[in-house]
Amino acid sequence: MSTAAQTAQGVPPKPAAPSKPTTLWSLLLHNRLAAVGLAFILLWTVIALIAPWIAPYDPYATDMANKLQPPSAGHWFGTDNFGRDILSRVLYGARISIWTGLIAVAISFFIGVPLGGIAAYYGGRTGTVIMRVMDVLLSFPSLVLSMAIAASIGAGLSSAMIAVGVVGIPEFARLMFGQTVSLREKEYVEASRAIGVKDSVILYRHILPNALAPLLVQATLGMGFAILTASSLSFLGLGVKPPIAEWGAMISEGREYIISGQWWLVTFPGLSIATSILGFNLLGDGFRDVLDPRLRSGK
Amino acid sequence: MSTILEVRNLKKHYPIRKGFFGKQVGSVKAVDGITLSVEKGETLAVVGESGCGKSTTGRAILRLIEPTEGEIAFNGTDVRSLNPEQLRRFRTDMQMVFQDPYASLDPRWTVQRILEEPLRTHAQAGGGELQAKVEQLMEVVGLSPYQAHRFPHEFSGGQRQRIGIARALALNPKFIVCDEPVSALDVSIQAQVLNLMQDLQEQYGLTYMFISHDLSVVKFISDRVAVMYLGRMVELAPTKELFARPLHPYTQALMSAVPSPVPGQKKERIVLTGDVPNPETPPAGCAFHPRCPYAMDRCRSEAPVLRELDSGHQVSCHLY
C-alpha cells in the first residue's frame, strides 16, 4: 500500500531503511559523483590554505640554470622557462583561483539576488527595467562580456574578479526573480503583510530563506564558471599580471613550449583548472539532484 | 451596538491588458460595489460560491489588495487614505486568519518565531516579556508552550490553524477577517476550531468577518450573513432570518442545497441552470438574471439596488 501511495506521488519507493532521518548532507554523500566533487573541492581548498607550508620552492624564485626541466624527483611537475618550480606555482595558484571564485560569486550573489527579489516583489516598471537589463547582460557571450568589462577597468586580479562577478549577476537575478514570484503569493507572506511587517524584512526573512536551495546550487556551479572565466581572462592577458602564479596565466606563458615538447608547463595548471571546475560542477549537480525532488513535492 | 467597520461601494477591478504596450482591453470585476457595515462584537459571515469575490472583499478591506474604488472606515479612520507607514501601524487593529493552515505558516520558522513576529514588528514586547507573551498566546488557543520550538510541519492541520489564530491575536486586534478558516480542516476538527473562535470572541470582544462557503458553519457561528454573487451583494440579513426566510432567488437556491440533518426528510431542491457568468463581462441589469427562475424584463435592463426591507433584512432584487 505504501508503495502504491509513493508511486502515485511520483516518488520511487526506497528499499533503504525509512526510519533513518535523511538529511541533505547524507543524501549528498550518497550521491557518488557529488562526493567526488566535494573531495576535489576540499582538496583544492586545503591546498589553497596551506600552500606556503607545503610548497617545496618559492613560486617566484627564478633559477635560470634549471629552466624547462622535465618532471623529476627534485621538481615533481618540472620547471618553467624561468626555472621556477611548477608544483609550487600550481599550489599557490589554487589560492588565487579559489579566492577569485569566491569573490566573483559573492559579487554575483549579493547584487543579483536583491535585484531579482526586488524586481519580482514590487513588479511593475521597476521590475521590468531591472529584468530587461539582466536580459541584455545575458545576451552577451559570458567570456566576451567579461573581457570587455575587465579591459575597461584595466587588467589585474581585482578587475578580473569584478568582471566575472558582474557577468554572473543575471543568472542569480533571474533565479531569485522566479523564486520570489512564486513565494510572494504564499499565504505566509500575505500573513506577514497583514501583520505589518516591512517589505524588506519579508524579502530577507521569509522569501530569501525559502528561495535559498536553488541559489546554493547556482552558487556552487557559479564557482566553477568563475574559476574558468578568471583563468581565461588571465590566459588572454586581462587577468592577473605575469609573474603572479595563476593557472590561466601559467598556461598562457607556457603555451609556446608545447611545440618544442615541454608539455609540463601547460599540463599541470590545465589539470588543476579541470579538476577544480569538475569538483564544483559535480557538487552543484549533486546539490540539484538532492534538492529537486523535495522542491517538486512542495516542501 | 456601535459600528466598527463601514464599507461603502467597495470595488476591485483587475485590468486585462493586451498587446505590446499593455493596452487595457477590459477588466475583471472581482468585487463590484459592496456596501456593508459591521457592528462591534458581532460575526458577519460572507457567503457565496467560488470566485464570487468573498476573499477579495476581505483582503480589500484590510488593504492586502489595494481596492480600486470605495470607502472603508474603521472606527472612524479612513483606511484608504492611510500612507504605507500609517497602514503598517494600523494593522494592529485588523488581522486575518487564513484558509490554508499548511500555507499560511512559514515552513522554516518555529512556532516561537512565528508568534514573535507580530510582537517584534510592532515592538509590543521584548526580551523575557516576549517569551511570556508567546506562551500565553499558545495557551489561549489550546496549545502547550513546550511545543513552541517545533516547526509547522510537526503539527496537525487543526493545531496549525490554532497557531494562525494565535498569530492574529498577538496584536490584540479589534477586528479579524477569517478567510474560510475551517474549510481546509476535517469536520471533527472544524467544530473545535469554531468553538475556540467563539470563546476568543467572547473573551476579547472581537469582531469577525467570517468568509465561508459552508452554510452549516455559517449558521453556527454568525450573527448576520451577507450573500455575494458575482462581486455584488445580493442579500444581507440576521442569520436566523436568512435561514428561515431567504428572499433573493439566489439565496433560496443556496439554502436549498444545504443537506438536511434529518435522515429521510424530503427537501425541495432548487437547481440553478447555467454557469456563473464571466466577471469580465457581467450580464446587464441584475447579474443573476440569466439563471434566475423569476427573471422579468426589468431584471435584464436595470440593476437592482440593495434595499432594507424590514428589521435589517436587505435584499437586492426587483421582486420586492
| CATH number for B231 | 3.40.50.300
The answer to the question of residue B219 being in a domain is yes
The answer to the question of residue B121 being in a domain is no
A242 CA: distance to closest CA in chain B (Å) = 49
The answer to the question of residue B48 being in a domain is yes
Taking CA–CA distances from A186, the nearest residue in chain B reads B103
pLDDT at B23: 80
Cβ atoms of residues A298 and A56 within 8 Å:
no
Which residue in B96, B105, B107 is closest to A194 by CB distance?
A: B96
A175 — phi, psi (to 5°)? Answer: -60, -50
Q: Within an 8 Å CB–CB cutoff, is residue B155 touching chain A?
A: no
Cβ atoms of residues B165 and B196 within 8 Å:
yes
Which residue in B88, B103, B164 is closest to A196 by CB distance?
A: B88
Interface contact A195-B167, CB threshold 8 A: yes
Interface contact A192-B117, CB threshold 8 A: yes
User: Rounded CA gap, A41 and A219, in Å?
Assistant: 14
Burial of A32 (0-12, 13-18, 19+ CB in 10 A): exposed
Q: Which residues pair with B29 in a beta bridge?
A: B13
pLDDT above 70: residue B193: yes
User: Rounded CA gap, B6 and B3, in Å?
Assistant: 7
Average pLDDT over residues B195-213: 92
Burial of A99 (0-12, 13-18, 19+ CB in 10 A): middle
Q: Within an 8 Å CB–CB cutoff, is residue A295 touching chain B?
A: no
A206 CA: distance to closest CA in chain B (Å) = 7
Chosen for mutation from B63, B114, B117 (greatest number of chain A CBs closer than 10 Å) is B117
Cβ atoms of residues B285 and B273 within 8 Å:
no
A190 CA: distance to closest CA in chain B (Å) = 7
Interface contact A194-B117, CB threshold 8 A: no
CATH class of the structural domain A28-52+79-296: mainly alpha
- Look up cell 492611510; give the residue: B82
Q: Which residues pair with B310 in a beta bridge?
A: B313
Q: Within an 8 Å CB–CB cutoff, is residue A21 touching chain B?
A: no
Amino acid of residue A235? F
pLDDT tens, residue order, chain A (299 aa): 344 444 444 444 444 444 444 566 777 777 788 889 899 989 999 988 888 888 788 888 777 777 777 888 778 888 888 888 888 888 888 888 888 889 999 999 999 999 999 999 888 888 899 999 999 999 998 888 988 998 888 878 888 889 999 999 999 999 999 999 999 888 899 999 999 899 899 999 999 988 888 898 889 888 888 888 988 888 888 888 778 888 888 888 888 888 888 888 888 989 998 999 999 999 888 888 777 654 444 43
User: Rounded CA gap, B314 and B183, in Å?
Assistant: 27
Cβ atoms of residues A51 and A91 within 8 Å:
yes
Residues 6+ apart with CB under 8 A from B189: B156, B157, B158, B161, B182
Q: pLDDT by residue (tens digit) across B113-155? A: 999 999 988 877 677 788 888 999 999 999 998 988 888 888 9
The answer to the question of residue B306 being in a domain is yes
The number of C-beta contacts closer than 8 angstroms across A and B is 55
The answer to the question of residue B192 being in a domain is yes
Average pLDDT over residues B225-237: 91
Taking CA–CA distances from B103, the nearest residue in chain A reads A187
Residue-number span of the structural domain to which B191 is assigned? 3-108+171-315
Instruction: Read off the C-alpha cell for B233.
Output: 451583494
Instruction: Please tell me the total count of domains within chain B.
Output: 1
Q: Within an 8 Å CB–CB cutoff, is residue B257 touching chain A?
A: no
User: Rounded CA gap, B136 and A63, in Å?
Assistant: 77
CA angle B69, B286, B283 (to 5 degrees): 80
Q: pLDDT by residue (tens digit) across B162-176? A: 999 999 999 999 999
A142 CA: distance to closest CA in chain B (Å) = 29
Amino acid of residue B172? N
Q: Within an 8 Å CB–CB cutoff, is residue B64 touching chain A?
A: yes
Cβ atoms of residues B88 and B171 within 8 Å:
no
pTM for the whole structure: 0.80
The answer to the question of residue B32 being in a domain is yes
Interface contact B104-A198, CB threshold 8 A: no
DSSP secondary structure string for all residues of chain A: -HHHHHHHTTPPP--S-SSS---HHHHHHHSHHHHHHHHHHHHHHHHHHHHHHH-SS-TT---GGGTTPPS-SSSTT-B-TT--BHHHHHHHHHHHHHHHHHHHHHHHHHHHHHHHHHHHHH-HHHHHHHHHHHHHHHHS-HHHHHHHHHHHH-SSHHHHHHHHHHHHHHHHHHHHHHHHHHHTTSHHHHHHHHHT--HHHHIIIIIHHHHHHHHHHHHHHHHHHHHHHHHHHHHTTSSS-TTS--HHHHHHHHGGGTTTT-THHHHHHHHHHHHHHHHHHHHHHHHHHHHHHHHHTT-
The answer to the question of residue B164 being in a domain is no
Which residue in B88, B104, B121 is closest to A187 by CB distance?
A: B104
The answer to the question of residue B220 being in a domain is yes
**Chain B partners of A206 at a C-beta cutoff of 8 Å?**
106
pLDDT at A8: 42
Q: Write down the ipTM of this complex.
A: 0.87
> Beta strand pairing status for B3-18 and B69-74?
antiparallel
DSSP secondary structure string for all residues of chain B: --EEEEEEEEEEEEEEEETTTTEEEEEEEEEEEEEEEEETT-EEEEE--TTSSHHHHHHHHTTSS--SEEEEEETTEEGGG--HHHHHHHTTTEEEE-S-TTTSS-TTS-HHHHHHHHHHHTT---THHHHHHHHHHHHHTT--GGGGGS-GGGS-HHHHHHHHHHHHHTT--SEEEEESTTTTS-HHHHHHHHHHHHHHHHHHT-EEEEEES-HHHHHHH-SEEEEEETTEEEEEEEHHHHHH---SHHHHHHHHTSPPSSTT------PPPS-PPPTTSPPSSSTTGGG-TT--HHHHHS----EEEETTEEE--TT-
Instruction: Read off the C-alpha cell for B91.
Output: 494593522
Which residue in B100, B107, B117 is closest to A195 by CB distance?
A: B117
Q: Within an 8 Å CB–CB cutoff, is residue A186 touching chain B?
A: yes
Average pLDDT over residues B190-198: 92
Instruction: Read off the C-alpha cell for A158.
Output: 581585482
Cβ atoms of residues B171 and B118 within 8 Å:
yes
The more confident residue out of A24 and B241 is: B241
